[in-house]
Amino acid sequence: MSRRLTVLRSVYYPPRARWYSPVLRPAQWLRRVLHLEQIHLPPPRTLLQGLLGLLVPGLSFYLAGQRVVAKCIFAGCAVAALVFLIFLGRPAADWALLALISAHAASVTQQILPWITSRRVWAQLVLSVILFAGINQFVYVPARNWFLRHVAMPLQTPRGMVIVNPGSRPARVRQADWVAYRIEASVAGLIRANHGGIVLRAGYGYGPVLALPGDRVEFGPEVCLINGAPIPRLTDMPASGTFTVPENHWFVWPELRISGHGNFTVSFEAEMQRLALVDENDFVGRPFKRWFFTKQVTP
């Protein structure tokens, strides 16, 4: 006599997930591992509002009903952004950027507050540090770098801070215009125990364009001639020599901070002359005439 075993499936106990379920349903697996089900958003909040709450500092407080806190964060971020722009390149701008990052981190924390408060105290501290560092590294560092490359770049010069316009075109550069340019690191001369040498560190140069492509430059003991027109002889210029500025180059005499010792006059003058020929590809920009309330003065 045969018996049949009938397996009853209860609606209260659904079947267990298979071992390969993370492959078939990665979103559900990730939600379970990260305990995202513990994050309860207010019913009227949409996905777009949730994303904007993560991107806009203070918006998560506004959506959560804390309107006064949100308005204070909005006003504080506006003031911090204005301070960052006005005092670009100065310590005040760094403090303003730090305030923006802090406000953004607080806003994101408000967005995921139920999930964070369910953790232990040490976990909350670690998550706060990770959150602050992540927002800085993946949001504000790229934004700041983009701003410096395309909008404005502060440059510390011997004459003070100068805000350079990276969007200016090298084709519009004329003689006597002040330009900022990149300086590549190089090593000139033979560096040994008993020999001299020059090590040039990478950085930025800033100065007026003395001669354009095709102009003839002649060094003298008292003056320097540009197409026969005299200009004052600048520091460390050679006492003799003649050359023509090559194509796609400008003649900009550099101002360097020099440290060292030894007799390297000949190689030093040759390296300075080489450095004075600025390639258009190294062009960074020209200074703004005005930066907010300050008129930028060039000698």
Question: 275-284: per-residue pLDDT in tens?
Answer: 899 999 999 9
Pure H helices in 25-120: 26-33, 47-55, 59-63, 67-86, 91-111, 113-117
- Residue 231 to residues 89, 122, 209, 227, 272: CA-CA distances in angstroms? 33, 68, 12, 11, 18
Of 225, 248, 249, 250, the closest CA to residue 238 belongs to 225
Please answer whether residues 218 and 224 qualify as being in contact, where contact means their C-beta atoms are separated by less than 8 angstroms.
Answer: yes
**Tens digits of per-residue pLDDT, 169-205?**
998 999 999 999 998 866 544 334 444 556 666 788 8
The number of beta carbons lying within 10 Å of the beta carbon of residue 235 is 10
Q: Indicate the domain borders of the chain.
A: 21-150, 157-295
Average pLDDT value for the chain:
81
Asked if pLDDT for residue 126 goes beyond 90, the answer is no
**Among 163, 161, 201, 199, residue whose Cα is nearest residue 183:** 201
- State pTM to two decimals: 0.73
Residue 250, classed as helix, strand or coil, is strand
Instruction: Tell me the C-alpha distance between 156 and 121, whole Å.
Output: 44
pLDDT reported for residue 54: 83
- Could you give the angle at which helices 67-86 and 91-111 cross, rounded to 10 degrees? 150
> pLDDT tens for residues 47-56?
777 788 888 8
Answer for the pair 144, 96: CB distance below 8 angstroms, yes or no. no
Encoding tokens for residue 269? 């003058």
C-alpha 1: how far from chain center: 83
**Which CATH fold topology does 157-295 show?**
Umud Fragment, subunit A (2.10.109)
Q: Which residues, 6 or more positions from 294, have their beta carbon under 8 angstroms from its beta carbon?
A: none
Structure confidence by residue, pLDDT tens digits, 240-249: 889 999 999 9
- For residue 196, which amino acid is it? G
Q: Residue 97 pLDDT > 80, yes or no?
A: yes
Would you say 226 and 155 are in contact if contact means Cβ atoms under 8 Å apart?
no
